[in-house]
Structure 1
Amino acid sequence: MGMIARIARYEDKANYQSHYLGLLWQYLNPAIQVGIYFIIFGLGLQRHGIGGVPYILWMLIGIVPWFFMSQCFTGMSRSIFSKIGTISKMKFPVSILPTINMVSNLTSYFAMMVIVLIMLFCYHTPISLYWLQYFYYVLCMFALIFSLGILNSTISVIIRDYHVALQSVNRILFYISGVILNINDKNYPPLLRKIFSLNPFNYVIKGFRETFVYKKWFFDDPIMMIYFWSFVLLVLIIGCHLHMKFRNRFIDFI
Protein backbone atom coordinates (compact mmCIF):
# COMPACT_ATOMS: atom_id res chain seq x y z
CA MET A 1 0.00 0.00 0.00
CA GLY A 2 2.92 2.31 0.69
CA MET A 3 4.19 1.88 -2.85
CA ILE A 4 0.73 2.60 -4.28
CA ALA A 5 0.47 5.82 -2.26
CA ARG A 6 3.95 6.99 -3.30
CA ILE A 7 3.34 6.29 -6.99
CA ALA A 8 -0.07 7.99 -6.81
CA ARG A 9 1.52 11.09 -5.29
CA TYR A 10 4.21 11.10 -7.97
CA GLU A 11 1.53 10.81 -10.67
CA ASP A 12 -0.30 13.81 -9.24
CA LYS A 13 2.84 15.95 -9.23
CA ALA A 14 3.75 14.84 -12.77
CA ASN A 15 0.29 15.69 -14.11
CA TYR A 16 0.32 19.23 -12.72
CA GLN A 17 4.02 20.09 -12.83
CA SER A 18 3.62 22.43 -15.82
CA HIS A 19 0.67 24.30 -14.25
CA TYR A 20 1.21 27.51 -12.31
CA LEU A 21 -1.32 26.50 -9.66
CA GLY A 22 -0.04 22.92 -9.55
CA LEU A 23 -1.97 20.51 -7.33
CA LEU A 24 -4.39 23.28 -6.42
CA TRP A 25 -6.31 22.35 -9.58
CA GLN A 26 -7.35 19.12 -7.87
CA TYR A 27 -9.57 21.27 -5.66
CA LEU A 28 -10.41 24.08 -8.08
CA ASN A 29 -11.81 21.87 -10.87
CA PRO A 30 -14.53 20.16 -8.78
CA ALA A 31 -15.30 23.40 -6.94
CA ILE A 32 -15.86 25.25 -10.23
CA GLN A 33 -18.07 22.47 -11.55
CA VAL A 34 -20.16 22.45 -8.37
CA GLY A 35 -20.68 26.20 -8.78
CA ILE A 36 -21.75 25.79 -12.42
CA TYR A 37 -24.23 23.01 -11.64
CA PHE A 38 -25.72 24.97 -8.76
CA ILE A 39 -26.22 28.06 -10.92
CA ILE A 40 -27.83 26.07 -13.74
CA PHE A 41 -29.91 23.54 -11.82
CA GLY A 42 -30.21 25.13 -8.41
CA LEU A 43 -30.91 28.76 -9.30
CA GLY A 44 -32.05 28.31 -12.88
CA LEU A 45 -34.24 25.22 -12.94
CA GLN A 46 -34.87 24.01 -9.41
CA ARG A 47 -35.10 26.77 -6.82
CA HIS A 48 -36.79 24.70 -4.12
CA GLY A 49 -35.22 22.11 -1.87
CA ILE A 50 -35.72 18.36 -2.17
CA GLY A 51 -37.29 16.43 0.66
CA GLY A 52 -36.95 19.41 2.96
CA VAL A 53 -33.23 19.76 2.20
CA PRO A 54 -31.87 22.94 0.52
CA TYR A 55 -30.90 22.14 -3.05
CA ILE A 56 -27.29 23.30 -2.75
CA LEU A 57 -26.77 20.95 0.21
CA TRP A 58 -28.65 18.09 -1.47
CA MET A 59 -26.61 18.50 -4.64
CA LEU A 60 -23.27 18.88 -2.87
CA ILE A 61 -23.69 15.70 -0.82
CA GLY A 62 -24.42 13.74 -3.99
CA ILE A 63 -21.91 15.37 -6.30
CA VAL A 64 -18.86 14.75 -4.08
CA PRO A 65 -18.97 10.92 -4.28
CA TRP A 66 -19.97 11.24 -7.94
CA PHE A 67 -16.86 13.25 -8.81
CA PHE A 68 -14.68 10.62 -7.18
CA MET A 69 -16.46 7.68 -8.81
CA SER A 70 -16.62 9.40 -12.20
CA GLN A 71 -12.93 10.27 -12.25
CA CYS A 72 -12.01 6.75 -11.20
CA PHE A 73 -14.48 5.18 -13.63
CA THR A 74 -12.77 6.73 -16.65
CA GLY A 75 -9.26 7.05 -15.21
CA MET A 76 -8.94 3.45 -14.02
CA SER A 77 -10.18 2.15 -17.36
CA ARG A 78 -7.11 3.56 -19.13
CA SER A 79 -4.66 3.02 -16.25
CA ILE A 80 -3.08 -0.09 -17.76
CA PHE A 81 -3.21 0.97 -21.39
CA SER A 82 -1.54 4.32 -20.67
CA LYS A 83 1.37 2.61 -18.90
CA ILE A 84 1.76 -0.41 -21.17
CA GLY A 85 4.93 0.99 -22.74
CA THR A 86 6.57 1.35 -19.34
CA ILE A 87 5.56 -1.97 -17.85
CA SER A 88 6.72 -3.79 -20.99
CA LYS A 89 10.29 -2.65 -20.30
CA MET A 90 10.46 -3.51 -16.61
CA LYS A 91 9.09 -5.92 -14.06
CA PHE A 92 6.11 -4.18 -12.51
CA PRO A 93 2.94 -5.45 -10.76
CA VAL A 94 0.39 -4.51 -13.41
CA SER A 95 -2.51 -5.31 -11.10
CA ILE A 96 -1.91 -2.28 -8.89
CA LEU A 97 -2.23 0.29 -11.69
CA PRO A 98 -6.03 0.73 -11.38
CA THR A 99 -5.66 1.11 -7.59
CA ILE A 100 -3.00 3.80 -8.04
CA ASN A 101 -5.45 5.87 -10.06
CA MET A 102 -8.12 5.46 -7.38
CA VAL A 103 -5.73 6.55 -4.61
CA SER A 104 -4.61 9.61 -6.58
CA ASN A 105 -8.22 10.84 -6.68
CA LEU A 106 -8.63 10.64 -2.91
CA THR A 107 -6.98 14.00 -2.30
CA SER A 108 -9.70 16.04 -4.02
CA TYR A 109 -12.39 13.73 -2.60
CA PHE A 110 -11.41 14.35 1.03
CA ALA A 111 -11.08 18.09 0.37
CA MET A 112 -14.62 18.17 -1.03
CA MET A 113 -15.89 16.17 1.94
CA VAL A 114 -14.54 18.87 4.23
CA ILE A 115 -16.66 21.38 2.27
CA VAL A 116 -19.69 19.11 2.72
CA LEU A 117 -19.19 19.06 6.50
CA ILE A 118 -18.83 22.84 6.57
CA MET A 119 -22.07 23.21 4.60
CA LEU A 120 -23.87 20.80 6.94
CA PHE A 121 -22.87 22.88 9.93
CA CYS A 122 -23.82 26.10 8.10
CA TYR A 123 -27.33 24.70 7.66
CA HIS A 124 -27.36 23.66 11.34
CA THR A 125 -27.57 19.95 10.54
CA PRO A 126 -27.12 18.08 13.84
CA ILE A 127 -24.59 15.25 14.15
CA SER A 128 -26.36 11.92 14.59
CA LEU A 129 -25.65 8.21 14.85
CA TYR A 130 -26.61 7.89 11.19
CA TRP A 131 -23.32 9.56 10.28
CA LEU A 132 -21.51 6.39 11.36
CA GLN A 133 -22.78 4.58 8.27
CA TYR A 134 -20.75 7.00 6.19
CA PHE A 135 -17.94 4.44 6.49
CA TYR A 136 -20.23 1.74 5.11
CA TYR A 137 -21.04 3.80 2.02
CA VAL A 138 -17.38 4.72 1.54
CA LEU A 139 -16.66 0.99 1.55
CA CYS A 140 -19.44 0.52 -1.01
CA MET A 141 -17.94 3.28 -3.16
CA PHE A 142 -14.43 1.81 -3.05
CA ALA A 143 -15.68 -1.72 -3.73
CA LEU A 144 -17.78 -0.62 -6.71
CA ILE A 145 -15.02 1.45 -8.26
CA PHE A 146 -12.33 -1.17 -7.66
CA SER A 147 -14.39 -3.96 -9.24
CA LEU A 148 -15.29 -1.82 -12.26
CA GLY A 149 -11.69 -0.61 -12.51
CA ILE A 150 -10.25 -4.12 -12.74
CA LEU A 151 -12.80 -5.10 -15.37
CA ASN A 152 -12.69 -1.91 -17.46
CA SER A 153 -8.90 -1.52 -17.41
CA THR A 154 -8.49 -5.06 -18.74
CA ILE A 155 -11.08 -4.77 -21.50
CA SER A 156 -9.74 -1.34 -22.54
CA VAL A 157 -6.40 -2.93 -23.42
CA ILE A 158 -8.02 -5.73 -25.40
CA ILE A 159 -10.64 -3.57 -27.14
CA ARG A 160 -9.46 -0.05 -28.00
CA ASP A 161 -12.97 1.35 -28.53
CA TYR A 162 -14.09 0.30 -25.06
CA HIS A 163 -12.63 3.29 -23.24
CA VAL A 164 -14.26 5.72 -25.68
CA ALA A 165 -17.60 3.99 -25.07
CA LEU A 166 -17.09 4.28 -21.31
CA GLN A 167 -16.73 8.05 -21.62
CA SER A 168 -20.19 8.21 -23.18
CA VAL A 169 -21.57 5.87 -20.52
CA ASN A 170 -20.07 8.12 -17.86
CA ARG A 171 -21.96 11.13 -19.23
CA ILE A 172 -25.23 9.18 -19.17
CA LEU A 173 -24.62 7.94 -15.63
CA PHE A 174 -24.27 11.53 -14.48
CA TYR A 175 -27.93 12.19 -15.24
CA ILE A 176 -29.43 8.86 -14.17
CA SER A 177 -27.55 8.52 -10.88
CA GLY A 178 -29.43 11.25 -9.04
CA VAL A 179 -26.46 13.63 -8.88
CA ILE A 180 -28.22 16.86 -9.81
CA LEU A 181 -31.73 15.66 -10.61
CA ASN A 182 -34.11 13.95 -8.23
CA ILE A 183 -34.70 10.65 -10.03
CA ASN A 184 -37.23 9.64 -7.35
CA ASP A 185 -39.50 12.49 -8.35
CA LYS A 186 -43.06 11.26 -8.84
CA ASN A 187 -43.18 13.08 -12.17
CA TYR A 188 -41.09 10.24 -13.60
CA PRO A 189 -42.94 7.04 -14.59
CA PRO A 190 -42.75 4.31 -11.88
CA LEU A 191 -40.96 1.90 -14.24
CA LEU A 192 -38.33 4.51 -15.05
CA ARG A 193 -37.75 5.23 -11.35
CA LYS A 194 -37.34 1.51 -10.72
CA ILE A 195 -34.76 1.20 -13.50
CA PHE A 196 -32.86 4.20 -12.15
CA SER A 197 -32.81 2.67 -8.67
CA LEU A 198 -30.95 -0.38 -10.03
CA ASN A 199 -27.99 1.84 -10.91
CA PRO A 200 -25.23 0.97 -8.36
CA PHE A 201 -23.89 4.53 -8.54
CA ASN A 202 -27.27 5.75 -7.36
CA TYR A 203 -27.09 3.37 -4.39
CA VAL A 204 -23.93 5.08 -3.16
CA ILE A 205 -25.10 8.64 -3.85
CA LYS A 206 -28.48 8.02 -2.26
CA GLY A 207 -26.72 6.42 0.69
CA PHE A 208 -24.60 9.52 1.31
CA ARG A 209 -27.75 11.65 1.45
CA GLU A 210 -29.55 9.19 3.73
CA THR A 211 -26.53 9.27 6.01
CA PHE A 212 -26.18 13.02 6.43
CA VAL A 213 -29.66 14.50 5.97
CA TYR A 214 -32.42 11.92 5.55
CA LYS A 215 -31.50 9.73 8.53
CA LYS A 216 -32.17 6.29 7.14
CA TRP A 217 -30.11 3.18 7.90
CA PHE A 218 -28.57 1.15 5.09
CA PHE A 219 -30.17 -2.06 6.39
CA ASP A 220 -33.66 -0.56 6.10
CA ASP A 221 -33.61 -1.67 2.45
CA PRO A 222 -32.03 -5.16 2.53
CA ILE A 223 -33.11 -6.01 -1.01
CA MET A 224 -31.14 -3.14 -2.53
CA MET A 225 -28.20 -3.90 -0.26
CA ILE A 226 -28.10 -7.52 -1.45
CA TYR A 227 -28.53 -6.42 -5.07
CA PHE A 228 -25.67 -3.93 -4.81
CA TRP A 229 -23.18 -6.33 -3.28
CA SER A 230 -24.22 -9.09 -5.69
CA PHE A 231 -23.50 -6.73 -8.58
CA VAL A 232 -20.11 -5.75 -7.14
CA LEU A 233 -19.15 -9.37 -6.50
CA LEU A 234 -20.17 -10.46 -9.99
CA VAL A 235 -18.20 -7.65 -11.66
CA LEU A 236 -15.20 -8.33 -9.42
CA ILE A 237 -15.17 -12.05 -10.26
CA ILE A 238 -15.44 -11.39 -14.01
CA GLY A 239 -12.85 -8.61 -13.85
CA CYS A 240 -10.31 -10.63 -11.86
CA HIS A 241 -10.79 -13.63 -14.15
CA LEU A 242 -10.14 -11.59 -17.30
CA HIS A 243 -7.26 -9.71 -15.70
CA MET A 244 -5.47 -12.88 -14.59
CA LYS A 245 -6.08 -14.44 -18.00
CA PHE A 246 -4.69 -11.58 -20.09
CA ARG A 247 -2.25 -9.66 -17.87
CA ASN A 248 0.80 -11.49 -19.25
CA ARG A 249 -0.34 -10.79 -22.81
CA PHE A 250 -1.25 -7.09 -22.58
CA ILE A 251 1.72 -6.07 -24.70
CA ASP A 252 0.48 -8.33 -27.50
CA PHE A 253 -2.60 -6.17 -27.94
CA ILE A 254 -0.63 -2.96 -28.56
Structure 2
Amino acid sequence: MRMFREFARDRRVLLSLIANDLRARYLTNYLGVLWVFIQPVATTVILWFVFQFGFKAAAQNDFPFVLWLVCGLVPWFFIVEALNSGCSSVKENSFLVKKIVFRVSLLPLVKLGSALMVHIFFVCILILLFLVYGYTPTIYWFQVIYYIVCLFALLLAIAWITSSVVIFFPDLSQLVSMAVQFGFWLTPVFWDINAMQSRAVKYLQFNPFSYVVEGFRDSLIRGVWFWDRLEQTIVFWIVLTVLILVGLRTFKKLRPHFADIL
Protein backbone atom coordinates (compact mmCIF):
# COMPACT_ATOMS: atom_id res chain seq x y z
CA MET A 1 0.00 0.00 0.00
CA ARG A 2 2.90 2.34 0.69
CA MET A 3 4.16 1.87 -2.87
CA PHE A 4 0.76 2.68 -4.33
CA ARG A 5 0.56 5.83 -2.19
CA GLU A 6 3.96 6.83 -3.56
CA PHE A 7 2.68 6.30 -7.11
CA ALA A 8 -0.25 8.61 -6.37
CA ARG A 9 2.09 11.25 -4.97
CA ASP A 10 4.33 11.07 -8.06
CA ARG A 11 1.47 11.08 -10.56
CA ARG A 12 2.60 14.33 -12.20
CA VAL A 13 6.07 12.94 -12.83
CA LEU A 14 4.51 9.73 -14.12
CA LEU A 15 2.21 11.53 -16.56
CA SER A 16 5.11 13.66 -17.79
CA LEU A 17 7.25 10.57 -18.41
CA ILE A 18 4.40 8.85 -20.26
CA ALA A 19 3.98 11.88 -22.53
CA ASN A 20 7.73 11.97 -23.18
CA ASP A 21 7.76 8.26 -24.00
CA LEU A 22 4.96 8.68 -26.55
CA ARG A 23 6.74 11.60 -28.17
CA ALA A 24 10.06 9.73 -28.30
CA ARG A 25 8.48 6.63 -29.84
CA TYR A 26 6.30 8.20 -32.48
CA LEU A 27 6.66 11.92 -33.06
CA THR A 28 10.31 11.70 -34.11
CA ASN A 29 9.37 9.57 -37.16
CA TYR A 30 8.22 10.96 -40.51
CA LEU A 31 4.78 9.41 -40.17
CA GLY A 32 4.66 10.33 -36.49
CA VAL A 33 1.63 9.13 -34.59
CA LEU A 34 0.39 7.17 -37.62
CA TRP A 35 2.75 4.39 -36.60
CA VAL A 36 0.56 3.88 -33.54
CA PHE A 37 -2.03 2.07 -35.63
CA ILE A 38 -0.38 1.21 -38.97
CA GLN A 39 0.98 -2.17 -37.84
CA PRO A 40 -2.09 -3.23 -35.78
CA VAL A 41 -4.45 -2.27 -38.60
CA ALA A 42 -2.28 -4.13 -41.13
CA THR A 43 -2.26 -7.23 -38.90
CA THR A 44 -6.03 -7.05 -38.46
CA VAL A 45 -6.66 -6.72 -42.19
CA ILE A 46 -4.36 -9.65 -43.01
CA LEU A 47 -5.94 -11.97 -40.41
CA TRP A 48 -9.44 -10.93 -41.46
CA PHE A 49 -8.65 -11.56 -45.13
CA VAL A 50 -7.03 -14.96 -44.44
CA PHE A 51 -9.81 -16.29 -42.24
CA GLN A 52 -12.72 -14.62 -43.98
CA PHE A 53 -11.77 -15.48 -47.56
CA GLY A 54 -9.06 -18.12 -47.21
CA PHE A 55 -10.56 -20.38 -44.54
CA LYS A 56 -14.11 -19.17 -45.18
CA ALA A 57 -14.71 -18.35 -41.53
CA ALA A 58 -18.41 -18.08 -40.83
CA ALA A 59 -20.09 -15.42 -38.71
CA GLN A 60 -20.01 -16.18 -35.01
CA ASN A 61 -23.61 -16.77 -33.92
CA ASP A 62 -24.83 -14.56 -36.79
CA PHE A 63 -22.41 -11.83 -35.67
CA PRO A 64 -20.04 -10.23 -38.23
CA PHE A 65 -16.73 -12.09 -38.14
CA VAL A 66 -14.64 -8.93 -38.49
CA LEU A 67 -16.14 -7.42 -35.30
CA TRP A 68 -15.71 -10.69 -33.42
CA LEU A 69 -12.06 -10.83 -34.56
CA VAL A 70 -11.25 -7.21 -33.69
CA CYS A 71 -12.74 -7.73 -30.20
CA GLY A 72 -9.98 -10.26 -29.60
CA LEU A 73 -7.19 -8.38 -31.37
CA VAL A 74 -7.61 -5.04 -29.55
CA PRO A 75 -6.74 -6.40 -26.07
CA TRP A 76 -4.09 -8.68 -27.60
CA PHE A 77 -2.25 -5.74 -29.17
CA PHE A 78 -2.11 -4.16 -25.70
CA ILE A 79 -0.80 -7.40 -24.20
CA VAL A 80 2.00 -7.72 -26.77
CA GLU A 81 3.11 -4.11 -26.47
CA ALA A 82 3.00 -4.09 -22.67
CA LEU A 83 4.84 -7.40 -22.23
CA ASN A 84 7.69 -6.43 -24.55
CA SER A 85 8.10 -2.81 -23.48
CA GLY A 86 7.53 -3.60 -19.79
CA CYS A 87 10.31 -6.16 -19.81
CA SER A 88 12.87 -3.63 -21.07
CA SER A 89 11.50 -0.62 -19.17
CA VAL A 90 14.26 -0.47 -16.53
CA LYS A 91 17.12 -1.56 -18.76
CA GLU A 92 16.34 1.08 -21.40
CA ASN A 93 16.43 3.84 -18.79
CA SER A 94 19.65 2.94 -17.02
CA PHE A 95 20.58 6.64 -16.75
CA LEU A 96 17.55 7.17 -14.49
CA VAL A 97 18.31 4.11 -12.38
CA LYS A 98 21.59 5.64 -11.27
CA LYS A 99 19.88 8.78 -10.00
CA ILE A 100 19.30 8.38 -6.28
CA VAL A 101 16.29 10.73 -6.19
CA PHE A 102 14.40 8.93 -8.96
CA ARG A 103 11.81 6.30 -8.09
CA VAL A 104 12.76 3.40 -10.37
CA SER A 105 9.50 1.54 -9.71
CA LEU A 106 7.81 4.16 -11.92
CA LEU A 107 9.59 2.93 -15.07
CA PRO A 108 7.37 -0.12 -15.74
CA LEU A 109 4.35 2.11 -15.12
CA VAL A 110 5.61 4.57 -17.73
CA LYS A 111 5.81 1.93 -20.46
CA LEU A 112 2.46 0.42 -19.54
CA GLY A 113 0.86 3.86 -19.30
CA SER A 114 2.13 4.69 -22.78
CA ALA A 115 0.75 1.41 -24.13
CA LEU A 116 -2.54 2.06 -22.32
CA MET A 117 -3.01 5.38 -24.14
CA VAL A 118 -2.69 3.57 -27.46
CA HIS A 119 -5.01 0.81 -26.25
CA ILE A 120 -7.73 3.29 -25.27
CA PHE A 121 -7.49 4.79 -28.76
CA PHE A 122 -8.10 1.34 -30.30
CA VAL A 123 -10.99 0.66 -27.94
CA CYS A 124 -12.59 3.86 -29.23
CA ILE A 125 -12.04 2.67 -32.82
CA LEU A 126 -13.57 -0.70 -31.88
CA ILE A 127 -16.68 0.97 -30.47
CA LEU A 128 -16.89 3.15 -33.58
CA LEU A 129 -16.84 0.00 -35.74
CA PHE A 130 -19.79 -1.41 -33.78
CA LEU A 131 -21.70 1.82 -34.33
CA VAL A 132 -20.89 1.80 -38.06
CA TYR A 133 -22.26 -1.75 -38.30
CA GLY A 134 -25.50 -0.53 -36.72
CA TYR A 135 -25.14 -1.89 -33.18
CA THR A 136 -26.50 0.36 -30.44
CA PRO A 137 -24.65 0.75 -27.12
CA THR A 138 -25.83 -1.29 -24.16
CA ILE A 139 -25.04 -1.19 -20.46
CA TYR A 140 -22.73 -4.18 -20.97
CA TRP A 141 -20.34 -2.01 -22.98
CA PHE A 142 -19.29 -0.19 -19.80
CA GLN A 143 -17.91 -3.48 -18.54
CA VAL A 144 -14.96 -3.03 -20.94
CA ILE A 145 -13.55 -0.58 -18.38
CA TYR A 146 -13.42 -3.38 -15.80
CA TYR A 147 -11.50 -5.65 -18.17
CA ILE A 148 -9.06 -2.86 -19.08
CA VAL A 149 -8.31 -2.35 -15.38
CA CYS A 150 -7.86 -6.11 -14.93
CA LEU A 151 -5.51 -6.33 -17.89
CA PHE A 152 -3.46 -3.30 -16.82
CA ALA A 153 -3.00 -4.70 -13.30
CA LEU A 154 -2.00 -8.11 -14.68
CA LEU A 155 0.54 -6.64 -17.12
CA LEU A 156 1.98 -4.35 -14.44
CA ALA A 157 2.55 -7.29 -12.09
CA ILE A 158 4.32 -9.19 -14.87
CA ALA A 159 6.36 -6.10 -15.81
CA TRP A 160 7.63 -5.72 -12.24
CA ILE A 161 8.95 -9.27 -12.41
CA THR A 162 10.41 -9.27 -15.92
CA SER A 163 11.91 -5.76 -15.82
CA SER A 164 13.89 -6.57 -12.69
CA VAL A 165 14.95 -10.11 -13.60
CA VAL A 166 16.05 -9.24 -17.16
CA ILE A 167 18.84 -7.05 -15.80
CA PHE A 168 20.50 -10.12 -14.29
CA PHE A 169 19.31 -12.56 -16.96
CA PRO A 170 19.29 -10.76 -20.37
CA ASP A 171 17.97 -13.83 -22.21
CA LEU A 172 14.64 -13.27 -20.50
CA SER A 173 13.66 -10.69 -23.13
CA GLN A 174 13.95 -13.38 -25.82
CA LEU A 175 11.93 -15.79 -23.70
CA VAL A 176 9.21 -13.18 -23.28
CA SER A 177 9.06 -12.64 -27.05
CA MET A 178 8.78 -16.39 -27.55
CA ALA A 179 6.08 -16.65 -24.88
CA VAL A 180 4.11 -13.92 -26.67
CA GLN A 181 4.14 -15.96 -29.87
CA PHE A 182 2.94 -19.10 -28.07
CA GLY A 183 0.41 -17.05 -26.14
CA PHE A 184 -1.20 -15.80 -29.33
CA TRP A 185 -2.18 -19.35 -30.28
CA LEU A 186 -3.15 -20.37 -26.73
CA THR A 187 -5.41 -17.35 -26.29
CA PRO A 188 -8.78 -17.31 -28.13
CA VAL A 189 -7.96 -14.26 -30.22
CA PHE A 190 -9.18 -15.62 -33.57
CA TRP A 191 -10.68 -18.94 -32.54
CA ASP A 192 -13.85 -19.53 -30.52
CA ILE A 193 -13.12 -21.22 -27.21
CA ASN A 194 -16.79 -22.14 -26.79
CA ALA A 195 -16.78 -24.13 -30.04
CA MET A 196 -13.96 -26.48 -28.97
CA GLN A 197 -14.74 -29.91 -27.56
CA SER A 198 -11.26 -30.78 -26.28
CA ARG A 199 -10.54 -31.27 -22.59
CA ALA A 200 -7.83 -28.64 -22.94
CA VAL A 201 -10.55 -25.99 -23.20
CA LYS A 202 -11.18 -26.28 -19.47
CA TYR A 203 -7.60 -25.24 -18.76
CA LEU A 204 -7.43 -22.59 -21.48
CA GLN A 205 -10.43 -20.87 -19.91
CA PHE A 206 -8.29 -20.13 -16.85
CA ASN A 207 -5.60 -18.43 -18.90
CA PRO A 208 -5.71 -14.87 -17.45
CA PHE A 209 -5.34 -13.37 -20.93
CA SER A 210 -8.21 -15.51 -22.17
CA TYR A 211 -10.32 -14.10 -19.35
CA VAL A 212 -9.80 -10.56 -20.67
CA VAL A 213 -10.17 -11.39 -24.38
CA GLU A 214 -13.39 -13.29 -23.74
CA GLY A 215 -14.43 -10.49 -21.41
CA PHE A 216 -14.30 -8.01 -24.28
CA ARG A 217 -16.58 -10.26 -26.31
CA ASP A 218 -18.87 -10.82 -23.33
CA SER A 219 -19.21 -7.06 -22.95
CA LEU A 220 -19.62 -6.01 -26.57
CA ILE A 221 -21.15 -9.09 -28.23
CA ARG A 222 -22.68 -11.63 -25.86
CA GLY A 223 -24.01 -9.35 -23.11
CA VAL A 224 -22.62 -11.38 -20.20
CA TRP A 225 -21.54 -9.89 -16.84
CA PHE A 226 -18.21 -10.91 -15.37
CA TRP A 227 -19.87 -12.30 -12.24
CA ASP A 228 -21.80 -14.73 -14.46
CA ARG A 229 -18.40 -16.37 -15.08
CA LEU A 230 -17.76 -16.71 -11.37
CA GLU A 231 -15.26 -19.56 -11.51
CA GLN A 232 -13.03 -17.88 -14.09
CA THR A 233 -13.28 -14.54 -12.26
CA ILE A 234 -12.20 -16.06 -8.94
CA VAL A 235 -9.26 -17.86 -10.55
CA PHE A 236 -8.20 -14.68 -12.38
CA TRP A 237 -8.15 -12.58 -9.22
CA ILE A 238 -6.26 -15.26 -7.30
CA VAL A 239 -3.62 -15.37 -10.07
CA LEU A 240 -3.51 -11.57 -10.24
CA THR A 241 -3.08 -11.21 -6.48
CA VAL A 242 -0.24 -13.73 -6.42
CA LEU A 243 1.52 -12.07 -9.36
CA ILE A 244 1.23 -8.60 -7.78
CA LEU A 245 2.72 -9.82 -4.50
CA VAL A 246 5.50 -11.69 -6.29
CA GLY A 247 6.14 -8.74 -8.60
CA LEU A 248 6.39 -6.19 -5.80
CA ARG A 249 8.58 -8.49 -3.73
CA THR A 250 10.89 -9.30 -6.66
CA PHE A 251 11.29 -5.67 -7.70
CA LYS A 252 11.94 -4.50 -4.15
CA LYS A 253 14.46 -7.30 -3.55
CA LEU A 254 16.48 -6.68 -6.72
CA ARG A 255 16.18 -2.88 -6.89
CA PRO A 256 19.30 -2.10 -4.75
CA HIS A 257 21.50 -4.04 -7.24
CA PHE A 258 20.26 -2.41 -10.46
CA ALA A 259 22.87 0.36 -10.55
CA ASP A 260 25.73 -2.09 -9.99
CA ILE A 261 24.77 -4.21 -13.00
CA LEU A 262 23.73 -1.39 -15.34
Please indicate the TM-score interval, normalised by the length of the shorter structure.
Answer: over 0.9
Where do 5+ consecutive residues of structure 2 fail to align? 1-10
Question: Residue 237 of structure 2: which of 225, 229, 252 is its match?
Answer: 229
Cα distance, 1:18 vs. partner?
4.1
- 2:259 maps to a residue whose letter is I
Whichever residue aligns with residue 181 of structure 1, its letter is W
* Aligned residue among 219, 237, 247 for 1:211: 219
Query: Does the CA-based 8 Å contact 1:155-1:162 persist in structure 2?
Result: yes
CA–CA separation in structure 2 for the residues paired with 1:108 and 1:239: 24
Unaligned runs of 5+ in 1: none
CA distance in 2, matches of 1:142, 1:29: 22
Equivalent residues of 2:97, 2:258 under 8 A apart = no
For each residue in 1:108-156, what CA deviation from the matched residue of structure 2 results, as whole angstroms up to 9, or x when unmatched? 2122112211211122223222122222111111111111111111111
Write the distance in 1 (CA, Å) between the matches of 2:184 and 2:250. 27
1:29 aligns with 2:39: yes
Deviates more, 1:163-172 or 1:3-12: 3-12
SS of alignment partner, residue 91 of structure 1? coil
TM-score (norm 2): 0.91
1:143 aligns with: 153
Partner SS for 1:179: coil
Would you say 1:239 and 2:247 are equivalent positions? Answer: yes
Q: Over aligned residue pairs, what C-alpha RMSD do you find?
A: 1.6
C-alpha distance in structure 2 between counterparts of 1:139 and 1:51, whole Å = 28
Residues 1:4 and 2:14 are matched in the alignment? yes
Distance in 2 of aligned mates of 1:213 and 1:51: 10
Q: Name the CA distance, whole Å, in 2 between partners of 1:184 and 1:253.
A: 47
Q: Which residue of 1 aligns with 2:134?
A: 124
Counterpart position of 2:4 = none
Q: Measured at CA, do residues 17 and 213 of structure 1 come closer, stay the same or move farther in structure 2, by a change above 3 Å?
A: closer
Distance in 1 of aligned mates of 2:110 and 2:56: 38
Partner of 2:195, secondary structure, is coil
- Percentage identity across aligned positions? 26
* CA shift for structure 1 position 178: 0.8
Alignment-mate amino acid for residue 107 of structure 1: M
Q: 1:192 corresponds to which letter in structure 2? A: A
Work out whether 1:58 is the aligned partner of 2:106. no
Q: Distance in 1 between matches of 2:74 and 2:171?
A: 28
Residue identity in the other structure for 1:230: I
Partner of 2:170: 160
Output the CA distance in 2 between the equivalents of 1:148 and 1:62.
21
Q: Does structure 1 retain, via aligned residues, the 8 Å contact 2:89–2:107?
A: yes
Does the residue aligned with 1:213 lie in a helix, a strand or coil?
helix
Q: When the two structures are aligned, how many residues end up with a matched partner? A: 252
- The residue aligned with 1:15 is 25
> Quick check: 1:80–1:98 contact (8 Å CA) kept in 2?
yes
Q: Which of 168-177 and 105-114 deviates more?
A: 105-114
Give the residue type in structure 2 aligned to 1:219: W
Which TM-score applies when normalising by structure 1? 0.93
Distance between the aligned counterparts of 2:142 and 2:99, measured in 1?
Answer: 46
Provide the C-alpha distance between the structure 2 equivalents of 1:42 and 1:64, rounded to a whole number of angstroms: 18
